[in-house]
Each structure stands twice: as structure tokens, then as C-alpha cells.
Structure 1
Amino acid sequence: MLYLAKVQKKEILGEISLQLLAYQNSDETWAMLFEETVLTVPPDFAQNVLNEGVLVLADIGENGEVLKMRSATNWVLQLVDRYLTTGITPDFLQLEAEKAEEWPQSLTLQSQALSRRFIEVEARREQIQTLEAKLQKTKFEPAA
């Protein structure tokens, strides 16, 4: 599973660990981790000079071992470019979600209005046909 993590160094022991901050769901969305979870990075990953506080994307196996790790800088910059430079803010997303929730109700109201209008037109058409029939009947009847 892919995690966003912050590098932590323990100077005394010379260990490097990752504080897991968020994880990627199977549907490509992300969820925050509210419980502090820290994993120790294996020594073979320590050869990548990881500075304290750096954000990384870490692929972590089911048993908690770090499989792969890369800098999150480009990923964060893509997020900024894609969402923050185009004006997509949390408020904008909330407003769009509210609009989307209102659409079904609006469509139902429009459908009901169209149905009423159709019934009115049908009733008017029947009235016109009745009047036409009466007119035809009086037209062909001899005057008494």
C-alpha cells in the first residue's frame, strides 16, 4: 500500500524512521492517518540520504516492511499544479457537492412540471377536438 510519510532521524541510534501521515485507497483517493504510526526504515534504504522532515511516498507491504520509497516533492508539486492553481479549493468542492446533491431534486421538480403541462395540453387538445366535432355537426345539420 502507498503511504505519504515524513522522515524522522534518531541521531543517537542512527536509525531512520517514517511517520506515516496518509495512505492511498484502492480507488485512488487518500485518507489521513490520525493515529501516529512510525516504521523503522531498513538499513539498505538508509543509503538514500534522507533528511529529517522530508516527505516521501513509501510502498509498504502487508507486514509493515518498506518495499520502495521515493521523494514526494514531484507528487506534491503535481497536486499544487492540478488543484491549487486552478482555484479548486475545499470550499469550491463543497459547493459543487451541494449542487450535485440538489440536481436529482431539481430534475424531479422539472419532470413533475412537464408532466402537469403535458396533461394540461392533452386536456386542451381534447376540448378542441370536442369543439371541432360540435362545429362539424352544426355545420352539416340543416337549420330548423
Structure 2
Amino acid sequence: MRYLAKIERASFLGNTVLQPLARQVDEYLWETIPDHAVIETKVAASVGPGAIVLATVEQQDDQLQIVAIDDVVPWLLELLEQFLSQGITPDFLAQEAERAEQWRQSLTLESQEVERRALETAARRDEIQELERNLKVARAELEQREAELLARQQEAE
């Protein structure tokens, strides 16, 4: 896990003391750390107090252990190149999120409309099938009456 941290000081034992500011939750997701507890490490930092660094951290025995301290500049330049050079700003991301939400709602409404139409079509199909059955019964009755009438006509002649 990576942390964005501020170098507080070097302790009297020669260790570096870091104040974590944010931690990486996912590749492009970071969260700020509200309580600014410090982490002491034996890993030497090549910059002085007040500098911002990227610290690679592992959890060992319920304690955070810093594995490496890296300069933050290459990471920041990469962020600038990936996002800000293309005009991807927080406002742009908020607008895109809003557009995506509107699109999702629109698709949900369309899906509901398609389902409603499918139900209507199924109901109409059932109605037509019922009418066809009634028509067959009526036709059979008519054919039977016609046969009876023909039989009576032949008897009467």
C-alpha cells in the first residue's frame, strides 16, 4: 500500500518520522487520513523535514512498516500527464459522473418501457389465443348446426 506522507523530522536514533496524509485504496482511488498519527521508520529519506514523499507501506504485526520512501515528483508528473494535460479536472469528472447517472436513469426507464411493452404483447397474445379457441368452438358449433340442418333438409325432402 502506498501513502502520501510528509517528513516530520529525523528522530534522535537516526530514524525518519513520517506523517501520513493520504493512502492509496485502489489504483486511482486515494483517501485522506484524518488522524495524523506519525510513523517512525529506519528507512532513510533523501529529503528534509516538510517534504512530501510516497511511502510504500506493509502491515506487519498490526503495525505499519515502511518499506521504501520515494520522491513524489515523478508520480505527480505522471498524474499531470495522464489527467490534467487532457483537461480532466474535478469539474469535468463531476459532469461526466452526472452524465453517466442520467444515462443510467434513461436506460432504466427504457428498460422498464420495454418490459411493459413485452407484458402488453404477451397479454395481447394470450387474448388472441383465447379468441382463436372461442372461434374454433363457435365454428365447430356452426358446422354441427349446419350438418343438423342439412340432415333435416334431406329428411324433409
Q: Is 1:49 paired with 2:50?
A: no
Q: Which residue of 1 aligns with 2:93?
A: 93
Larger radius of gyration: 2
Match of 1:60 among 52, 57, 60: 57
Structure 1 residues 106 and 54, CA, compared in 2 at 3 Å: closer, same or farther? Answer: same
Quote the offset at 1:103 in angstroms: 0.7
Q: Does 1:106 align with 2:130?
A: no
Number of positions where the alignment pairs a residue of Structure 1 with one of Structure 2: 114
User: Alignment identity in percent?
Assistant: 39
Confirm or deny that 1:39 pairs with 2:45: no
Task: Please report the TM-score for the alignment, with normalisation by the length of structure 2.
Answer: 0.61
1:115-143 Cα shifts (integer Å, max 9, x gaps): 5xxx8xxxxxxxxxxxxxxxxxxxxxxxx
The two structures have a TM-score, normalised by structure 1, of 0.66
Report the aligned-residue RMSD. 2.7
Q: Indicate conservation of the 8 Å contact 1:4/1:58, yes or no.
A: yes
Looking at secondary structure, tell me which structure has more helix per residue. Answer: 2
Deviations 1:71-123 (A, max 9, x none): 1110011111211121111111111001101112223445638x5xxx8xxxx
Amino acid at match of 2:86: T
- Which ranges of structure 1 fall in alignment gaps of 5 or more residues? 120-144
Offset of residue 9 of structure 1:
1.6
Q: 1:18 deviation in Å?
A: 0.7
Query: Which amino acid is the alignment partner of residue 6 of structure 1?
Result: K
C-alpha distance in 1 between matches for 2:85 and 2:36: 31
Query: Match of 1:84?
Result: 84
The gaps in structure 2 that reach 5 residues or longer are 122-157
SS of equivalent residue, structure 2 residue 36: strand
